[in-house]
Structure 1
């Protein structure tokens, strides 16, 4: 019988780094990342890595053994395997168990290693040790082990039904666009990147370029899951970009001539990017793709986006991608399919998925919503940037066409289901994939990821095993998931399609292994290719009503260590709500070739980038990802504060003296934005104080206007302390409040009376002294 190893073409060779040092993480949630009882005894200076696996009459495994200690060591390299496993969940569990779960002994090799020495070892695993089946394997030296899952398959059974198989190939990358960008016209805003990291991935030998090479070899049953933010950024790179640590300030301030004598009039603005040609070539190759489905913008965590309760942020996360792919690639993507990076959606997020399918473009929907927004009291002094309360604005209209969302099968349990489909909300249906398979596919590459829907009992630091071992494990798990569909009694009718959803930051070497495995399954007749559109087509399901109080019906069944914190969500909500307020205050001008929504759109995209879930779920990248989130939110807030300061009130002085009660108050309103502003003048003051500007304040773009205020102030007070600020027409505060003191008429009379009495008193005293002095001199 011809034996086939599960790594696809039969040979797998990946560069294998040494075992990574322990990664620092928050001790309070350490158990959410790593079960302290799973592989807890592994330690020491000796390590073993799998570097290559070859198929043949026997399975040949190449290993690298290293002694990183200061002394030489005599070691025994042992090979052991566990019992054959018939389901992916059992296979994942076996990888986290102790050595007692590997009772079958294989070949051993005695080694002498000097201090710091690394040696290569080749082992042949005979059919007697590895018969047909899927087995957990363990190679050990000292206390450390190397684990992998290996499938040795025979000829497929012709009497079994052939399951369908759909493979997603994610195209994502971290985007380091300098924060603080705003829209410009008639030309687009210049692209400023903080490094050339993305250019390196687009180069011919880069990760993104190799992923396209791998996809082009066999597109059967495979669809590219593309981050539209990546497409947008690469398209802008192809038109030229700059590399700089930060972007110039949005606000230009006037300065005196002498203040600029010792300043550089032409400060360094960065260097031209070197990846323009590679970006254009990569984009042209992507235009030839057969199947494309957009991911959320910047792989944003949709559950976190939903928690901000901001409709427009969620629209940008789920609705904008289709438009960008059509414009930049001239392709029609698969629409109404949402792929959350976390692998699950919460009950709070599910209804918002209706925003993924709307008939109107986002900008047009915005204008209609702003025109019908109801006014409210302008008594609020805190703007959205300072408010610590997130208003409950949840809910979205039912989609016009069904929206399908891809989630793990263990994340839906209390809603109507049929096979791999579940009904989550009106018009929103979930298509599920195997949770154990998704977890093993995610735990690959140089930065393995921990899925939030995985059982915490079987979580461990996946970097204990080499990149090669984890790639072989993922390929074997994929084969096992297909074979699992053909087990007797598994399905009463035809087997359901297997949906393979790797993590967003899939590395090129693992992608080759997985796609080679998929091609081998198709060629051997063990599986048939199924398009993504067919896989997500759901039957009619019963509607689901609102949940009972305190009852959860779907979401992650376990703790998610990579979930965005409440503090980060609050900051994102503050910034998006203030961005909405700022946008509503501006007015579209037909003379100015810039729309108000387009001006603030990059600010919303900055927030989505801050909420990206791609790197957060990796134990080795989590801390860096959290710090990047904080940096971007800090920079975005600073930009909003600069914009806030450009729309301001300028009182004539700290104390304003009125000649009479009918005298108006004069105050200057300035606008540094590129669009006009329509605002209400809001105030707070003593009881009974009434100020009126006789209509909204219209401030021209990059201009100012003097506003006359009619003031009715309490007469029994000498002075009135007032706070004034600009607000949107519906009452949302925008500008920073200014304080003025108004001297009332009663105060003026009282002050003048006291002054007059003082003058009279001083005059009488002076006259008295002069008269007495003369009387003394008269004799």
Structure 2
């Protein structure tokens, strides 16, 4: 009897004895513990945590089996004692389940209990024992199928046909105070593209060029994302000589050698290098998807830049950034790579289309959706693919889709369960085989569907748009996308992953998650399905965490499918050019995406600040001699508002994402307040005295902005004054200007005149001032006195003339003798002559 058989017999005897003792009311004594088998998977799909040993998969060599491979593969792993007691007699074996026959099985079979892995290899000793904290690495050589004389220590898992097979590593041990039991396991997928011969005369070696599947190759396209979360500090308008400020310097590490973005780019370079040994076939299947916000940030980092000492204190101290060299090198490499392959722009900063639509700001949406293609083209010197929107969540609501259509997009890229056909949403969670009795096959979704409920509304007075204006959706396989998202460190579970198969993938090792992704990539090629198109769009998450080795393995798997005739390269533009399925489809906005979306309370304040930016932009003047244009000055603030609506931080938790979004919004609002307050009227000191009632009012306006601006004076003149509106005026950048305002004052009292500046559209600028004005004119009293005197004079003259015309003497002349008047004058002359003597 083998050692494994003896162990199974011993465990059976122990179970029988425990049952008898329990029936008699007798149990183990105090301090005695019998270790029971602990399955790591349950029917609910929720794994239980190991208590004594932790088993992790380190590698599978080769990662995929082909018809020309050796008939053996090697599985390496590590066993770690995570308990509080020693574990003895540790052994491992490999078990196999049935080949995955439905796409949902790529996820669900990995959560099945170990009893479903019914093809068992032999136990192989790992070590005699491990004390707490100790670990031991091991390797198992496994034969694909049994031969006449397998070498000692090699088990067979009896694979005789191509497919994607779930495998399980089972570790047994004997904890102190307990018996031998299964203490942990590790699951992974093994893609078998072809069955090699050589180990068994019944399985001769396959002939070169023999297809593994009697079906056309799968037309395959893959997007290769380069994106990062927003890093620029909010509330910093453009400046001709200012340094960029980043919240942290993590991006420098990501761009440097060994960083995430460096490794993703390195994996692509390994494919495109002339010495890579690959032709252009693989390159044609890949399209580089780039976030323009990342490129803007990296471009800013190529010059001197600053980093906040504390990311939570945007106005706190800063330090010099350390990533200038890494940013230059990475950007140069990308500029050399991008022109040789397909390139497409992602929405700015992974903006949430639903939240963007809720703001109702057309200019903001244009910057988030349409500007990215131009940014990518300018920064990388390429001609990117146009007319396609790629939302980060893989799903979009009707408002977001309508926003795409309004901004000229003809296609969006969505998960295949984010659309619903005439018969309702697809049954994407079935775990039954399509061929099994009573099983419901996964119906699948066409590559390109017509979203009949999303059309471009006609302009006023125009005829309705043609049918081609209806938005189309290119769909990607959620199972492959879910598996690709699990690659790397801290992987997210995408919102399009069905609830029934959601679990914490970090319980599996990185090597196991990589194997699952390689299996998911190959599944469609190996499993022709009636009624399903032979095509695949592979979509990793936009902030993909794969390292260089993992990314290279993914590219290698795709290349392996191409070279074995299981796939054919399809360019992204060819996919977009396909005619949609004739049946109408509707959007099916996924609940998980709605839960992780940007909260609705951000929409209104973002809208308000976006309007303020637009209003200020319309007042600024682009002067040729000016270093900074109005667009370059204000666009960074508009970008900050888009970053408020980003989905990039929300997969890690909504609390931190809401905090970051609110901080960005507050900083942008504060900056806009300061900008509007930088253009104002300087208050004159004391009382302003006019030299006359028509003297001009002298005012000085100041513009502290680095760009020129058009203004108007808003003067609330009191009734005693008449102030002329001098119309629209221009203030120079960073300068003052004096103005003479024609003014008429009809009162000598002190008058208070409120004066403010506005944009030509009437939006208030700066703070209003009150000018005290006093005129040297007598004003209304003088006018009344003068009028009365004139009236009296006219009355006296008229009376005299009236009497003269009638030949009468004026009553005022009564008692006056003309001769007496003359003699009086003669006496005075005579008196003066005598005095002179």
TM-score (norm 2): 0.65
- For the residues of structure 2 that align with 1:198 and 1:160, how far apart are their CA atoms? 45
Higher relative contact order by CA 8 Å / sep ≥ 6: 1 or 2? 1
In 1, are the aligned partners of 2:217 and 2:534 still within 8 Å (CA)? no
1:66-119 CA-to-partner distances (Å, cap 9, x unmatched) read 223443335665654443222222222333455565555555467632111122
Given the alignment of the two structures, is residue 151 of structure 1 paired with residue 206 of structure 2, yes or no?
Answer: no
Aligned-partner SS, 2:621: coil
**Structure 1 residues 327 and 632 mapped into 2: Cα distance closer, same or farther (>3 Å)?**
same
Equivalence for 1:381: none
Shift of 1:433: 1.0
2:529 equivalent to 1:497 = no
Match of 2:510 in 1: 467
Equivalent pair of 2:43/2:112 in contact (CA under 8 Å) = no
Which of 304, 307, 315 is residue 244 of structure 1 equivalent to? 307
Q: Which residue of 1 aligns with 2:798?
A: none
DSSP 3-state at the match of 1:345: coil
Q: SS state of the match for residue 214, structure 2?
A: coil
Q: Displacement of 1:455 after TM fit?
A: 1.1
The answer on whether the counterparts of 1:202 and 1:282 sit within 8 Å (CA) in structure 2 is no
Task: Choose which of 91, 94, 105 in structure 1 pairs with 2:109.
Answer: 94
Cα contact 1:654–1:740 (8 A) shared by 2: no
1:210 corresponds to 2:283? no
Partner of 1:583: 617
Structure 1 residues 246-265: aligned runs within 5 Å = none
Partner residue, 1:168 = 223
| 1:337 to partner: Cα distance | 2.4
CA distance in 2 between partners of 1:163 and 1:407 (Å):
19
Alpha-carbon distance between aligned partners in 2 of 1:276 and 1:669, rounded to the nearest angstrom: 43
Tell me if the contact between 2:307 and 2:321 (Cα under 8 Å) persists in the aligned partners: yes
* Superposition pairs of residues 475-486 of structure 1, within 5 angstroms: 475-484=518-527, 486=528
**Is 1:219–2:305 an aligned residue pair?**
no
Contact 2:710/2:731 (8 A) holds in 1: yes
- CA distance in structure 1 between the partners assigned to 2:394 and 2:716 by the alignment: 48
**Which has more radius of gyration?**
2
8 Å CA contact 1:657–1:743 kept in 2: the answer is yes
Instruction: Tell me the equivalent position of 1:608.
Output: 642
Match of 2:31 in 1: none
How far is 1:479 from its partner?
0.6
* Pair 684,39 (structure 1): closer, same or farther in 2 beyond 3 Å: farther
CA RMSD of aligned residues (A): 4.5
In structure 2, relative to structure 1, the CA distance for the partners of 1:326 and 1:277 (3 Å cut) is: closer
Q: What CA distance in whole angstroms lies between the structure 2 residues aligned with 1:122 and 1:538?
A: 48
Work out the CA distance in 2 between the residues paired with 1:77 and 1:720: 94
Distance change in 2, residues 1:190/1:268 (3 Å): closer
Distance in 1 (alpha carbons) for counterparts of 2:722 and 2:111: 71
CA distance in 2, matches of 1:246, 1:704: 37
Alignment match of 2:703 (pick from 652, 671, 693): 671
Tell me, which stretches of 5 or more residues in structure 1 are unaligned?
Answer: 1-34, 248-263, 355-395, 546-551, 746-779
Secondary structure of the 1:168 match is strand
1:469-514 deviation digits (Å, cap 9, x = unpaired): 1111111001113334x23x234xxx34210011122223331121
SS at match of 2:308: coil
One of 514, 528, 547 as aligned partner of 2:568? 528
2:400 partner SS: coil
**Does the 8 A contact of 1:169 with 1:511 survive in 2?**
no
Instruction: Indicate if the aligned counterparts of 2:448 and 2:580 stay in contact, CA closer than 8 A.
Output: no
What residue is the counterpart of 1:385 in the other structure? Answer: none
Cα distance in 2 for partners of 1:234, 1:658 equals 59
Q: Counterparts in 2 of 1:82-481, with a 5 A limit?
A: 82-97=97-112, 102=117, 105-108=120-123, 112-127=129-144, 128-129=156-157, 131=159, 132=161, 133-139=163-169, 145-154=185-194, 156-157=211-212, 159-174=214-229, 176-185=231-240, 190-193=243-246, 195-216=248-269, 217=271, 218-238=282-302, 240-245=303-308, 273-275=324-326, 277-279=328-330, 281-354=332-405, 396=406, 399=408, 403-413=410-420, 419-423=447-451, 424-426=454-456, 427=469, 428-481=471-524
- Cα distance in structure 2, aligned partners of 1:409 and 1:272: 40
Contact map agreement 1:414 1:554 (CA 8 A) in 2: no
Deviations 1:715-742 (A, max 9, x none): 9xx99998x8655444555x46658699
Give the distance between the partners of 1:77 and 1:570, measured in 2 at CA: 59
Cα distance between partner residues in 2 of 1:608 and 1:519: 38
* 1:145 shift after superposition: 4.7
Q: Relative to 1, partners in 2 of residues 1:275 and 1:41: Cα closer, same or farther, differing over 3 Å?
A: closer
Give ranges in structure 2 of 5+ residues lacking alignment: 1-41, 63-69, 145-155, 172-181, 196-210, 272-281, 311-316, 424-444, 457-468, 776-837
Cα separation, 2, equivalents of 1:99 and 1:711 = 94
Conserved 8 A contact 1:235-1:283: no
1:653 Cα deviation from its structure 2 partner: 8.6
Give the alignment of 1:22-101 within 5 angstroms.
Answer: 38-39=45-46, 41-42=48-49, 44=51, 46-55=53-62, 56-74=70-88, 79-97=94-112
Contact 1:244/1:270 (8 A) holds in 2: yes
For 1:6, the equivalent position in structure 2 comes to: none
CA contact (8 A) 1:350 1:425 kept: no
Q: What's the secondary structure of 2:55's corresponding residue?
A: strand
After superposition, the Cα gap between the structure-2 partners of 1:451 and 1:654, relative to the gap in structure 1 and judged at 3 Å, is farther
CA distance in 2, matches of 1:628, 1:564: 12
- Contact 2:412/2:473 (8 A) holds in 1: yes
Does the 8 Å CA contact 2:680/2:757 hold for their aligned counterparts?
yes
Q: How does 1:527-566 map to 2 (within 5 A)?
A: 527-539=567-579, 553-556=587-590, 558-566=592-600
Cα separation, partners in 2 of 1:277 and 1:163, compared to 1, 3 Å: closer
The DSSP-based 3-state class of the residue aligned with 1:605 is helix
Distance in 2, Cα, partners of 1:145 & 1:655: 89
